[in-house]
Chain A
């Protein structure tokens, strides 16, 4: 018998094994007098807060704004957001860690999500993910993640590159994608979903 695999969740999650640090003060609502916030970030968050009947609804847009500003939702980014919103940093951490697109651990600014859910994996999504990881291996600014169904199974296997949906991908496309991202170019223009006619239209034309 081989050894049964150990539980692979939990202790690898950042946080499970962490005690608190007594040298820190309790994390109450950051005081505006001691928490400098970039003016444009403050303005953006306040604009979001004004959109809703309850300002707390703005927590996700605000965290995403802070993430754009800081690259990830670092403790500093969360403190700034908490200060503008008048919430505790804990509130925003609880929210932030719940959602996949909020990065509460250091990560690259360029978000490359490769779908590995059923429909994509049936068409080779896992291979795309490996190829993408390989292509992006040398650059810490690239945040390559496998992702749950991105809602574009019509172009499976696919990826979302900084929000741009591209597919169907071949493993060989990955190097091009990474090169495009690094150069700041448009990614795979002829494989972008937004430019693609719907299957319904194509079927109609063919029949």
Chain B
């Protein structure tokens, strides 16, 4: 089933004329004719789950906004920065009006009168395309005051970021959109109550909003029958890494992971096998070859101890040392930590140091235990999920590949001629009274 990617490569689809020739903006008319409560009900019953990573019910999120009359905001999260994710870029570049139509429908549902698309600064050329599309939509009367003669008014500004992964976190995005450093905010209050400019705010991912015109067109029931239970609809999956045909594929959720990686993307280069893979961007705990036969949907990925996340699959083949990936990953999160909360700022940095020592052979197996314990101390203790986004995959790598970490240390020790390893010492939990040679008194 093709929804979002239908006609995706048709020349000129990014213009309003071609988009409308395929029935574009008809769903908007239908939605605007609907009562707000009915529209929210429709979105809720479609069981559309957010496509940005958290997978929260879109309709439910829209229903959380207060009903009182006041300035409300809709923000489209187009700060697609999760490593391995590139679906929103293609959706915005090739079919911007699909997003804009969905966004207006979403604004109607939330009765928001002011909308923003926060697009990452690196996507400048995509932002140019969006700007042009917004101008077209405005000229056609789909944006502005009293859209198509209804009481729904909406202003839409495409806001370009300037390069910070953390701004994909919704509250950091709001701070950034307010012209501040992109630091995540404490929750509660949640954006639905106090978001942008302290007003009620609905924040949705590009792909989520791009789905709305299809839900309205097909009806929630027909749409929800796509895919499997709890993972309804189609999903654009970005597959990258060691595969032969990396790229975006629109699928119905629930298909076998193997069919995605080997079928659509062609699997690893000849002679190589899948060693492990991230099922939902680099923040998702890794899965291994043994998980390839799991259905690719929200529940199955969660059941395997990982998550579907943004639907970005990164495949690593058996030629790649796990330590390299761990170090790359930890370094990324260290660099992108905003620095606001202690466990993330210090924990990511510490993890990088430990991995550097592991990579150069200066570490001992005890360091792996300390590293695992540090990941535990990061998890659930941070202000936002960035810290967890490093801690969870790193923990999972230690879990699945501890012997490789150990042999990596050994090999590097010999290679770098570091002599015999220090004698092993029992690992103590933080705060224990015993102090080994690696334990400096605080």
Which one of A35-43, A127-135, A147-155 is at the B interface? A147-155
Given contacts A1-B419, A118-B325, A198-B247, contact A57 B122 (CB under 8 A): no
User: Does A144 make an interface contact (CB < 8 A)?
Assistant: no
B162-216 at interface with A (beta carbon < 8 Å): 162-165, 176-182, 197
Q: How far is the CB of B225 from the nearest CB of chain A, in Å? A: 22
Q: For the complex, what is the distance from the CA of A113 to the CA of B123, rounded to whole Å?
A: 12
CB-CB nearest in chain A for B127: A163
Which one of B57-65, B235-243, B383-391 is at the A interface? B235-243
Grouping DSSP codes into helix (H, G, I), strand (E, B) and loop, the A interface class, with mixed when no group exceeds half, is mixed
Grouping DSSP codes into helix (H, G, I), strand (E, B) and loop, the B interface class, with mixed when no group exceeds half, is mixed
CB-CB nearest in chain B for A87: B179
Q: For the complex, what is the distance from the CA of A152 to the CA of B125, rounded to whole Å?
A: 13
Whether B161 lies near A99 (C-beta < 8 A) is yes
Q: How far is the CB of A138 from the nearest CB of chain B, in Å? A: 26
User: Does B160 make an interface contact (CB < 8 A)?
Assistant: yes
Given contacts A154-B246, A199-B248, contact A118 B163 (CB under 8 A): no
Whether A156 lies near B246 (C-beta < 8 A) is yes
Q: How far is the CB of B251 from the nearest CB of chain A, in Å? A: 9
Q: How far is the CB of B440 from the nearest CB of chain A, in Å? A: 13
B: contact size bracket: 35 or more
Whether A163 lies near B125 (C-beta < 8 A) is yes
CB-CB nearest in chain B for A55: B179
Whether B162 lies near A64 (C-beta < 8 A) is yes
CB-CB nearest in chain A for B352: A9
| Set B89, B157, B360: member contacting A152, Cβ < 8 A | B89
Whether B177 lies near A99 (C-beta < 8 A) is no
Size of A's binding interface in residues, CB under 8 A: 55
CB-CB nearest in chain A for B180: A95
Q: For the complex, what is the distance from the CA of A117 to the CA of B177, rounded to whole Å?
A: 26
User: Does B97 make an interface contact (CB < 8 A)?
Assistant: no
Q: For the complex, what is the distance from the CA of A115 to the CA of B161, rounded to whole Å?
A: 18
User: Does A102 make an interface contact (CB < 8 A)?
Assistant: yes
Q: How far is the CB of A121 from the nearest CB of chain B, in Å? A: 6
A122-181 at interface with B (beta carbon < 8 Å): 122-123, 147-156, 160, 163-165
Q: For the complex, what is the distance from the CA of A3 to the CA of B44, rounded to whole Å?
A: 60
Whether A198 lies near B121 (C-beta < 8 A) is no
User: Does B90 make an interface contact (CB < 8 A)?
Assistant: yes
User: Does A70 make an interface contact (CB < 8 A)?
Assistant: no
Whether B197 lies near A151 (C-beta < 8 A) is no
Residues of A within 8 A of B240 (CB): 119, 153-154, 156
A98-122 at interface with B (beta carbon < 8 Å): 98-102, 113, 117-119, 121-122
Per-residue contact bits, chain B 283-327, to A (CB 8 Å; 1 contact, 0 not)? 000000000000000000000000000001010100010000100
Residues of A within 8 A of B273 (CB): none
Residues of B within 8 A of A63 (CB): 162
Per-residue contact bits, chain B 3-15, to A (CB 8 Å; 1 contact, 0 not)? 0010011000000
Whether A153 lies near B246 (C-beta < 8 A) is yes
Residues of B within 8 A of A80 (CB): none
Q: For the complex, what is the distance from the CA of A51 to the CA of B180, rounded to whole Å?
A: 16
Whether B164 lies near A201 (C-beta < 8 A) is no
User: Does B51 make an interface contact (CB < 8 A)?
Assistant: no
Residues of B within 8 A of A101 (CB): 121-122, 162-163
Q: For the complex, what is the distance from the CA of A60 to the CA of B245, rounded to whole Å?
A: 37
User: Does A15 make an interface contact (CB < 8 A)?
Assistant: no
Q: For the complex, what is the distance from the CA of A205 to the CA of B389, rounded to whole Å?
A: 37
Residues of B within 8 A of A100 (CB): 162-164
Given contacts A9-B349, A57-B178, A199-B249, contact A153 B241 (CB under 8 A): yes
User: Does B224 make an interface contact (CB < 8 A)?
Assistant: no
A42-100 at interface with B (beta carbon < 8 Å): 51-61, 63-64, 94-95, 98-100
User: Does B47 make an interface contact (CB < 8 A)?
Assistant: no
Whether B81 lies near A198 (C-beta < 8 A) is no
Q: How far is the CB of B185 from the nearest CB of chain A, in Å? A: 15
| Set B81, B180, B242, B250: member contacting A151, Cβ < 8 A | B81
Q: For the complex, what is the distance from the CA of A54 to the CA of B196, rounded to whole Å?
A: 10
Whether B114 lies near A53 (C-beta < 8 A) is yes
Q: Which residues of B contact A (CB under 8 A)?
A: 5, 8-9, 71, 80-86, 88-90, 93-94, 114, 120-125, 157, 159-165, 176-182, 197, 236, 238-242, 245-250, 264-265, 282, 312, 314, 316, 320, 325, 328-329, 332, 335-336, 338, 349, 353, 356-357, 360, 362, 416, 418-419
Q: Which 4 A-B pairs give the minimum distances between C-beta atoms?
A: A199-B247, A100-B163, A153-B240, A99-B162
